[in-house]
Amino acid sequence: MMHTSDIAIVGGGPAGLSAAIVAAEQGHRTLVIDRQTVLGGQLIKQTHRFFGSKAQHAGTRGFEIGKALAAQVSGNANTDVWLDSTVIGYYREDGILLVERPQGLATVKADRIILATGASEKALAFPNNDLPGVYGAGAVQTLMNVHGVLPGQRAVMIGAGNIGLIVGYQLIQAGVQVVAVIEAAPRVGGYWVHAAKLARAGVPIHTSSTVVEALGEESVRGVRVVKVDSAWRAIPGSEFELDCDLVCLAVGLSPLVELAVLAGCEIAYVPELGGYVPWHDQEMQTTVPGIFVAGDAGGVEEASSAMVGGELAGLAAANSLRPFAGHGERMSSAREALAALRAGPTADKVRGGFAKLAAARQGRCST
């Protein structure tokens, strides 16, 4: 049977839930579809306290923010939640989503669709990067913080961005020895407050260094590391080995854009935002009218900005269905919040990425 809805939201993470809250608030029948069995997306494994301002739950731990957003969405009479449900198709001709549910296949026809599908972890190319014991940083978080299982005993973290630093500290909190953090750039990319926690715990952070190969037969028993010069070339004679049974890759994320591609949204390649990104305007609308994007799916950033982006998409989608009073003010204050989150040197890359995306759109529109 076909399910109809005013607004269908694919993904129940920080962006999707924030979109659902504002959309349902305007009286629209909203459907949130998520492939996991709990709402919250990757917030469920974030144990650190968030930054930003009060509006983005600063000072609260990520998993608690996830619970609060999920409760708000689940408790709303205008909102349906489908869990354990994966959107596996989109038919352009009639705008129908195909969803795989535990009880079988379902179709959804919605007037507006918000893609909040998140991102997947990037791998790094080096020999033996596929050995058991080489994990994405998110996988390590999921194992420890959601399932209470240790991924190993001695860890080497690759990447000193915020994810690498935060997960490095979470490994220590769970009782894993962090042998070192390896970072190819000449300086730490994440917030100093996170780096300081590792430094206080005595973890060396090797900047201008990269992994040459993982060692081991059936699983990882170490890594070989080399220093790199300012042009990222390996410096001969600078190689050293580290013993570990766990290599954690925190080298970035790529937006999950399959549905956007399937729907015919124009896609731009913006490495600063994680790779292929659906073009979207200030209202978070893609080049396909009625399809919006929010959160990491529209450019990899942080959970805080994903929440604000979700709010923008939810407000815009709701207003496009039925204009409401105060829409303009709420959009501008959300945009201001986003600008504040993107202020500061650690967000240089993201700001540059969105500028590039906007320029690519203009170039496209003028031709």
Instruction: Give residues in contact with another protein (CB under 8 A).
Output: 35-37, 42, 47, 61, 120-121, 123, 130-136, 138-140, 142-145, 147-151, 173-175, 217-219, 256
Distance of CA 15 to the CA centre of its chain: 9
Q: How far is the CB of 51 from another protein (least distance, A)?
A: 17
Concatenating the DSSP letter of every residue in 101-147 gives ETTEEEEEEEEEEEE---EEEPP---TTTTSTTEEEHHHHHIIIIIT
Residue nearer to another protein on the CB measure, 140 or 155: 140
Residue nearer to another protein on the CB measure, 176 or 188: 176
Q: How far is the CB of 48 from another protein (least distance, A)?
A: 9
Q: How far is the CB of 322 from another protein (least distance, A)?
A: 36
Which residues pair with residue 254 across a beta bridge? 120
- DSSP annotation of 233 reads -
Residue nearer to another protein on the CB measure, 245 or 311: 245
Residue nearer to another protein on the CB measure, 23 or 87: 87
Q: Report the distance separating Cα 13 and Cα 351, nearest Å.
A: 23
Q: How far is the CB of 50 from another protein (least distance, A)?
A: 14
Q: How far is the CB of 145 from another protein (least distance, A)?
A: 6
Residue nearer to another protein on the CB measure, 183 or 245: 245
Residue nearer to another protein on the CB measure, 143 or 212: 143
Q: How do 267-270 and 253-255 pair as beta strands? A: unpaired
What does residue 216 show for φ and ψ, rounded to 5 degrees?
A: 140, 165
Buried b (16+ CB within 10 A) or exposed e, 87-101: beebeeeebbbebee
209 close to 228: Cβ distance less than 8 angstroms: yes
Q: How far is the CB of 254 from another protein (least distance, A)?
A: 10
Q: How far is the CB of 57 from another protein (least distance, A)?
A: 16
Q: How do 177-182 and 205-206 pair as beta strands? A: parallel
Buried b (16+ CB within 10 A) or exposed e, 203-223: bebbbbbbbbbbbbeeebbbb
Residue nearer to another protein on the CB measure, 68 or 139: 139
